[in-house]
Amino acid sequence: MDISKTKRKFWSFFLLSLILFGVLSYLFYKNIVTSKQKKLEKDIENIEMDFVFKSEDWWEQEEECTAIQNIEYYYYSGDDPLWKENNKFGLYIYAEEKDFFEIAQNLINSKGGEWGYVLIPYNVKDYDEGKWGRVFDQLISKKLIPVIQLWNFDKDHYQKNTKRAAEFLNSFIWPIKYRYISVYNEPNDDKFWVGDADPEEYAEVLDFTIKTFKETNPDFYMLNGALNISSPTDGQNIDAFEFMRKMNEKVPGIFDKLDGWASHPYPQPNFSGNPYDKGRWSIRAYEDELKYLKEDLGVKKDLPVFITETGWAHAEGDNYNPSFPKVETVSEYYKIAFEEVWLKDDRVRAVMPFTIRYDPPFDHFSWINKDKVPYLQYEVLKKIEKVKGKPPALMTDNVDIYNCPGSK
């Protein structure tokens, strides 16, 4: 037997078989891959069609969404309590007289001005939602910043009255973020403190009132009740500095709890003093108060000043009173006071002279007469250029709420 020949046949057969196996394997593999590829392509096509159909359904559904409600919401434009562009002009008015708001606006927001101030007394037992709702609506629409001055202190029920007053005033939408509250009026004068001025009692009342209002809303901006700074201790009044010292002894640090300082710098004597005067009998009396707070009582804060009362009495009124200067002189004094004193003093935030209108004998302080005709000082100050105030004011916006079929 030829072994070499046999081997060659074997290897030829083996090689041929291997080639044939490779060709068959390739064809088999190609058939499987092609089949799977076709199936995959079919699946992809189905997915694409399904996506198209579902997308069309989604778009149709989206087009059917309808706005069912528009919600208006409120916010404030900032949070700086000492904003730079500040219109210091103000006036003392009353909540009960609707016309007073427009009269005040036409004065303090004249000549380019916006967001001047108004002092408004508030009886802590007054919860008339209709009246005060109208007040706050007018304040917002006329761009007036209110300083609310509490009155009608009740020694036996003041804590209850304070809590309810804080909740009531907080229930309204205020025109700016900060809610100015002056805690009563001239408490060192017997006439304004249930017939017996008491610095220790007032210190406790002030402390409780600050705490209560701040707990109700931290945006309440708390001021003291301005003192009668020009009167000495005389049986009816307690000297302002003596009163402040005794307050601080009763409640140490009471004045550092304030956000601002309310002051009544009247031009004395006889509400007829010269606007260039200085000292406790002048329109700069707040300077002496601030100095006493810092140097004698150790107050650390630099308290901004809110002049919640000031002004000259004029001879003209329901009856002429020659002991007071004529309205022409008073008008010139006011012009000097604003342009050369208060507007130049960065410590002063607002000046709210007493008063838009009051019955005799205080009609001589009035800015309008009983027929609501302005006195000359109104017209003189109206012509002074004013600042377009930019406080953290109330802003409004809105958002639509939609209802979509199939939405959860």
Domain ranges of the chain: 1-63, 74-394
Report the alpha-carbon distance of residue 204 to residue 275 in Å, rounded: 36
Report the alpha-carbon distance of residue 159 to residue 332 in Å, rounded: 45
What residue ranges in 255-404 does DSSP mark as E strands?
261-263, 305-307, 348-351, 394-403
Cα-based distances in Å from 116 to 38, 94, 298, 338, 345: 80, 16, 32, 14, 17
352 HSE (CA, 13 A, CB side) = 29
Residue 144 predicted with pLDDT over 80: yes
Residue 349 predicted with pLDDT over 50: yes
Rounded mean pLDDT, 174-189? 98
Residue 222 predicted with pLDDT over 60: yes
Q: How confident is the model at residue 73 (pLDDT cuts 50, 70, 90)?
A: confident
According to DSSP, the β-strands at 348-351 and 305-307 are parallel
Residues 6+ apart with CB under 8 A from 167: 216
CB of 350 closer than 8 Å to CB of 306: yes
Rounded mean pLDDT, 116-140? 98
Output the pLDDT for position 72: 84
Residues 6+ apart with CB under 8 A from 166: 212, 213, 216, 217, 220
Output the pLDDT for position 59: 41
Verify cis geometry, omega within 30 degrees of 0, for the bond prior to 355.
yes
Residue 10 predicted with pLDDT over 60: no
pLDDT higher at 254 or 52: 254
Helices (H), 93-219: 98-108, 129-141, 158-170, 199-216
Output the pLDDT for position 32: 45
Cα-flanking dihedrals φ and ψ of residue 94, to 5°? -135, 140
Rounded mean pLDDT, 80-90? 98
Output the pLDDT for position 96: 97
Residue 402 predicted with pLDDT over 90: no
Residue 361 three-state SS: coil
What percent of the chain has pLDDT above 70? 83
Which residues are bridge partners to 117 per DSSP?
90, 145
Superfamily of domain 74-394: Glycosidases (3.20.20.80)
CB of 226 closer than 8 Å to CB of 217: no
Output the pLDDT for position 214: 98
Verify cis geometry, omega within 30 degrees of 0, for the bond prior to 361.
yes
Residue 53 predicted with pLDDT over 50: no
